[in-house]
Amino acid sequence: MKILITGSCGFAGINICKSLLLARSKLEITGLDNLSRKGSEHNVSKLQELGVSLLRKDIRNASDIEGLERFDWIIDCSANPSVLAGINGESSSRQLIEHNLLGTINLLEYCKLHRTGLILLSTSRVYSANSLAKIPIKENKDHFKIGSARELPGLSGKGINEDFPTSPPLSLYGMSKLSSENLALEYGENFDFPVWINRCGVMAGAGQFGKAEQGIFSFWIHSFREKKPLKYIGFGGSGFQVRDVMHPKDLEPLLWKQMQFPEKEVPRIINLGGGIEQSMSLKQLSQWCEDRFGLNKVASSKEERPMDAPWIVMDPSLSQRMWNWAPVTRIENILDEVAIHAEKKPNWLNLSS
């Protein structure tokens, strides 16, 4: 089987390359990356060590994609994944849309031509920012927990499921990914090639270049260990906002099944994440870091950021029922893996800033 993995030098991409090759034989994986994100160049040698050939191309350029050889599957891991991208002044809205939507269109045109299957890694941020802000929450010692889950569709004690509203506003990032999802389903239906869409929650692990708005677990652990300034923003400056976390290597069994059974009659869109058992607030994460690295004072700010949410936990129940998939790397092991990496690479965050 010949697989193309876009964004192969990113955190998700490199881990998916590695986990597929470790678990499966007779795979021929090619990576594709434009290396636009600072720090991604550090993964080039890792791909080479895995025996993955790297194409330095840009999915935004149709000509870069049109001339590719035929692959059986594309796993699309390329994206500008920041919820503040395009609205915080650090990157342009046009570049965000070109990366996350135009790039998808170019891949879909390729799949149309070659009847290549597409697995799109999407995001929890396709869910409505207004509805996320309306999730009923209450304080519980050092974190938020949901109140009555009956007040919103697609919400239960297990988290947010696939029926949660996706009406705008989402964020430019979220809308670009939701639009990509819809286009992918249309192309797959009209031009007869398989499409799977996996809405992923927060990922973390060693080697991730985390930022405050993306990759928060890695960013927090590295910053805490380096005694860099940290701040709880919004929600009264409490740090009670909650996210779940999973390791990208845990995606491998699901991706393999999706490629093996392209016509399986199950929903084409599923949520993937750590779930309620692998969720944690920033306050709890700080306590974990303090126990590991010693004290580092965290400031507080009541400033509200656009598109922020107090509680986002992905409910992967559908993927468990349809694919017998569940994350296997526990949150404690993920945090420990990041911490060990932080101790070995004390200036890691500087390499991507």
Domain boundaries, the chain: 2-352
Q: What is the pLDDT of residue 82?
A: 73
> Model confidence at 260, in pLDDT bands (50, 70, 90)?
very high
The lowest-confidence range among 273-287, 303-317, 326-340 is 303-317
Q: What is the pLDDT of residue 93?
A: 86
Closest by CA to 170, choosing from 267, 66, 100, 90, is 100
Give the DSSP letter string of 263-323: T--S-SEEEES--GGGEEEHHHHHHHHHHHH----EEEE-PPPTT--SEE-B--HHHHHHH
- Residue 262 above 90 pLDDT? yes
> Model confidence at 348, in pLDDT bands (50, 70, 90)?
confident
- Residue 334 above 90 pLDDT? yes
Tell me the CATH architecture of domain 2-352: 3-Layer(aba) Sandwich (3.40)
- Residue 89 above 70 pLDDT? no
Q: Which long-range contacts (CB under 8 A, 24 or more apart) does 48-53 make?
A: 50/17, 50/18, 50/21, 51/21, 52/8, 52/17, 52/21
> Model confidence at 51, in pLDDT bands (50, 70, 90)?
very high
Report the chain's mean pLDDT, rounded to a whole number: 93
Closest by CA to 101, choosing from 150, 171, 173, 45, is 173
Q: What is the pLDDT of residue 162?
A: 98
Return d(Cα 61, Cα 45) in angstroms, integer. 25
- Residue 71 above 80 pLDDT? yes
pLDDT > 90 fraction of the chain, expressed in percent and rounded = 82
Rounded to an integer, the average pLDDT of 231-251 is 96
